[in-house]
Amino acid sequence: MRDFIYLASQSPRRKQLLEQWGVRCELLLPDADEDSEALEAVKPNEPPSRYVQRVTRLKLEAAVDRLKRRALPLAPVLCADTTVAMGRDIMGKPESAAHARRMLAQLSGHKHQVLTAVAVAHKGQVFAALSRSSVEFAEMKPAEIARYVASGEPMGKAGAYAIQGKAALWARQISGSYSGIMGLPAFETAQVLQAAGLRLL
């Protein structure tokens, strides 16, 4: 049987990307009583890169505990977290439609960073990497932002947008990892999985 990993993420995009790369994965999602959102709290004056790596590590630790608690077969566990930042300002997932509109108005006509941290735990070791990309959006009219938010696509997304969706229509320039902006950087993910002993090709 081909090697498999546990994916501790509710993002369908991450699962889709792994399968596209030929990685067999089983979901390892939180129990109902686990407070996953608490792990994403931002500390005062925390730089975006430190934040995204810390949150990924916390999610990974929680997933490894979950694996042990459920007495599942051992396999590498992968976690990832994506954040959008303008300078030191961390832009997480919108809390409401109004919040999503404000975030997109802030991104309109400006360049921002997309940071995705990825980490794998296997046999007591942790392998981690960080992907940094930048995206420049063209000016977005308030009516365009309103229609985009009304589509529902921004909800649950860091920075209130999905680069693989309608938001691509405003992406004037992208530098870095397209898959990283989607939520799972191909190169960095391959590096940590191979370090954990998984054969990809």
In a domain, 34, yes or no: yes
**Catalytic annotation present for 65:** no
pLDDT tens, residue by residue, 86-121:
999 999 899 999 999 999 999 999 999 999 999 999
Domain count for the chain: 1
In a domain, 33, yes or no: yes
Contact 52, 130 (CB under 8 A): yes
Q: How many CB atoms lie within 10 A of CB 23?
A: 21
pLDDT tens, residue by residue, 132-162:
999 999 999 999 999 999 999 999 999 999 9
Burial degree of 37 (CB within 10 A; 0-12, 13-18, 19+): exposed
DSSP-based three-state secondary structure for 121: strand
Question: Above 90 in pLDDT, residue 37?
Answer: no
Question: Above 80 in pLDDT, residue 38?
Answer: no
In a domain, 62, yes or no: yes
At residue 2 the predicted structure's pLDDT band, cuts being 50, 70 and 90, is low
Of 2-6, 19-23, 70-74, 185-189, minimum mean pLDDT range: 2-6
Q: How many CB atoms lie within 10 A of CB 74?
A: 10
Q: For the chain, what percent of residues have pLDDT higher than 70?
A: 99
d(CA 105, CA 98): 11
Residue 88's nearest CA partner among 108, 104, 57, 112 is 112
Average confidence (pLDDT) over 64-70: 95
Assign residue 38 the CATH number of its domain.
3.90.950.10
Residue 97 in tokens: 């439609």
Which residue range(s) make up the domain with 55? Answer: 4-195
Q: What is the pTM of this model?
A: 0.93
In a domain, 200, yes or no: no
Marked catalytic residue, from 3, 31, 65, 81: 81
In a domain, 201, yes or no: no
In a domain, 13, yes or no: yes
Contact 113, 91 (CB under 8 A): no
DSSP letter (8 states) at residue 139? P
